[in-house]
Amino acid sequence: MSGVLEDLAQALGTGAVEVVDLTHTLDPDFPVIVLPPEFGQCARFRMEEVSAYDGRGPAWKWHNISMNEHTGTHFDAPIHWISGRDVANGAIDEIDPSVFVGPVVVIDCSEGAAGNDDFELTPALIEAWEAAHGRIPAGAWVLMRTDWSKRRGADYLNMAEDGPHSPGPTPAAIELLLARDIRGFGTETVGTDAGQGAHYIPPYPAHYLLHGAGKYGLQCLSNLDRLPPTGAMLIAPPLKIRGGTGSPLRVLALVPGGKLRGEHP
């Protein structure tokens, strides 16, 4: 057992295990979820210079930053949703740290999402994926790859007069993932739910069902096209905010990398 981490360190050193960054840059102009204007809104990321090697602080530069818990690439804790408000250890600071490092599987929906902004992840798609890659293991993160993170500007939220249009899971798909006892569900879009997710029963099924079951969410992920369907490890530790419902974070994946894959095709 003592050799596992040494092996990992060596694999990281040689590039046999690659570290892939799944995080968007925190940028003031990165889209956040937009709610009807009479509701409170998600604060955008903001940064103000406190000093920059000048009269305000001669030898140092630093910034004050502000944002919502759900700004940029972020983690959703169970208490984010009403269905998860009574989940034990459901606040971001209460989650067992072992949750933050674990196996990840990726369901590639990029082809479907390329042709249909409202593409749905369905039980049939999950079962087809399992037929190819094996049953989703208990305790795995499940990420829905759509290549949505490659979109820029207004195409990302893709707002229309009838609301945003972006891919996401159906309620039945989430039920199936819960039956597999996953750790959590992640997407490249601004939320774990589809843009039109309000119109499902229950509304926003990913939020409602996942958090009700004490599971976690990751959204605004990027670079999912660099992950294999199975076999990678996700590292996703949020900030430890007392009573927090979520947190911006850096999401990394350890991926059996080029050399290893090259040597053992």
Partner 1 sequence: MTGKLAPPRKKNPQLRQRVPTLPPQARSRAALGLTAAAARGAFELQHCAECGTVQYPPRDACAACLSVDLLWRATARDGQIIAETRIHASPDSYYRERLPWRAGLVRLAAGPTVLAHLHGEVGRGDRVRMDLKLDKAGQGVMIALPQQRTPDMADDDVLRTLTAHPKHRRVLITDLRAPVTRPLIEALLKAGAAHVFVGEAESWRRGSDHASIAGLDKVSVLPLDVTDATSLKKLAAEIGGKTDILINTARHVRPGGVLGADTVFAREEFETNALGLMRLAQAFGPAMAGRTADGVNSAVAFVNILSVHALSADPHYGAFSASQAAALSISQTLRAEFRASGLRMINVFSGPTDDEWHQPLPPPKVAPKALASCVVEALCEGLEDAFCGDVAKDLEERWRRDPKVLERELQGGGA
Dist CA 169 CA 219 (whole Å): 13
- The reply to whether 161 sits near partner 1 by the rule CB under 8 A is yes
148 binds partner 1 (CB under 8 A): no
Please confirm, yes or no, whether 63 is among the known catalytic residues. no
Shorter beta-carbon distance to partner 1: residue 36 or 115: 36
Scanning residues 7 to 36, which ones bind partner 1 (CB under 8 A)?
28-29, 31, 34
CB of 48 to partner 1, least distance (A): 6
Q: With contact defined as beta carbons under 8 Å apart, do 188 and 224 qualify? A: yes
Min dist. Cβ of residue 161 to partner 1 (A): 8
DSSP state of 136: P
Sole window of 3-11, 90-98, 155-163, 228-236 interacting with partner 1 (rule: CB under 8 A)? 155-163
Segment lying near partner 1 (by CB under 8 A), choices 13-21, 42-50, 102-110, 125-133:
42-50
- Say if residue 78 is exposed, middle or buried (CB neighbours under 10 Å; 0-12, 13-18, 19+): buried
Choice between 3 and 40, CB closer to partner 1: 40
Question: Which of 3, 172, 185 has the alpha carbon at shortest distance from 102?
Answer: 185
Q: CA 28 → CA 10, 25, 250, distances in Å?
A: 38, 9, 17
Nearer to partner 1, 44 or 261 (CB): 44
Cβ neighbours around 183 below 10 Å, total = 21
Does the footprint of partner 1 cover residue 162 (CB under 8 A)?
A: no
Catalytic positions = 80
